[in-house]
Amino acid sequence: MFKTAASPQDSMILQLVPIVTQACEILREEYQRYCAGDAFNVEEKADHSPVTQADFRANAYIASELAKISDLPLLSEEGEQDGRQNWQRFWLLDPLDGTKEFLHKRPEFTINLSLVDGSETVFAVLAIPGEQTLYFCPEQGLPLKFNYQQAQWYRYAAPEHQRGVQIGLSQSSQNKPKYAEYLDELAALTEFSVYKAGSAYKFCMMLEDRVDIYPRFHPTCEWDTSAGQCLIERIGGGLVDFKGRPFLYNQRDTLLNGGFMAYKNAEMKEIAMQALALMQKRH
């Protein structure tokens, strides 16, 4: 949850606010165009995932604007990825996370931008264009939220009471048996409700106290998780692989992630990993 706050003095945040705000407006315009049935270009990548004119337009804008304020390299889902093994400090970007949500006319897509130093994410932005809202994880301190329509800043504040456990699942999870298995094991440990949403939107909902555990059994890439991991780690949560190890970035030949458990706090981690252990014992 968040409480109203004064505008931050962090120079990186202040430089990025107009860039990410304009990128959100680009995606909002493209989304409205698509929903209105106007001519709209959708292509298929080599992995059969969709990419649209909105992805490319947002990517070009953000890449151009970042280059004006920073000389760091950019690793983007829609950009060149050569030479990344030599980068110590770089920007990691998904200009439209949740393209499938976008194409299903669900405004749960996000912009994911993070700053990676070594193998760890040290600064992050998650933006929800459909809600005109930006979430920032500064290099130090608690996450911030900015509603640019209202020009209002907020600072994260931990909720005083834990209400029922809420599990965040992807929209496509119902077609994948592992999620049903996991929920079966979880049901033996605690009562819970299910919250379905696409993309990194679920990480934002962890910050908003609407998701406690986010299990993932089908693939993501590093630009899908970096910003969200940074934000939820800062509030005492985390994102770990199935052996309990936090994700590291730009350390492998592939940018494809394995499965993970994301959780809001230590109590939720214990429940999440216990259910996973019970599930793994079955196999």
DSSP assignment of 33-54 equals HHHTT----EEE-TTS-EEEHH
Is 182 in the same domain as 101?
Answer: no
Is 45 in the same domain as 122?
Answer: yes
Q: pLDDT band for 175, please (50, 70, 90 cuts).
A: confident
Is 98 in the same domain as 186?
Answer: no
Of the three residues 126, 156, 186, the one that is the final residue of a domain is 156
Is 150 in the same domain as 169?
Answer: no
- Domain hosting 107: range is 2-156
Mean pLDDT across the chain, nearest whole number? 96
Tally the domains of the chain. 2
Is 245 in the same domain as 276?
Answer: yes
- Greater confidence (46 vs 90) lies with 90
Is 79 in the same domain as 177?
Answer: no
Is 71 in the same domain as 152?
Answer: yes
Is 170 in the same domain as 134?
Answer: no
**pLDDT tens column, 14-54:** 999 999 999 999 999 999 999 999 999 999 998 889 999 99
Is 76 in the same domain as 188?
Answer: no
Domain of residue 194, CATH code: 3.40.190.80
Domain of residue 130, CATH code: 3.30.540.10
The pLDDT of residue 94 is 98
Is 139 in the same domain as 177?
Answer: no
Is 174 in the same domain as 266?
Answer: yes
Is 87 in the same domain as 130?
Answer: yes
Q: In what order do the strands lie in the sheet with 110-117?
A: 2-5, 152-156, 144-147, 133-137, 120-128, 110-117, 89-97, 74-76
Rounded CA-CA distance 134/143 in Å is 10
Of the three residues 124, 156, 188, the one that is the final residue of a domain is 156
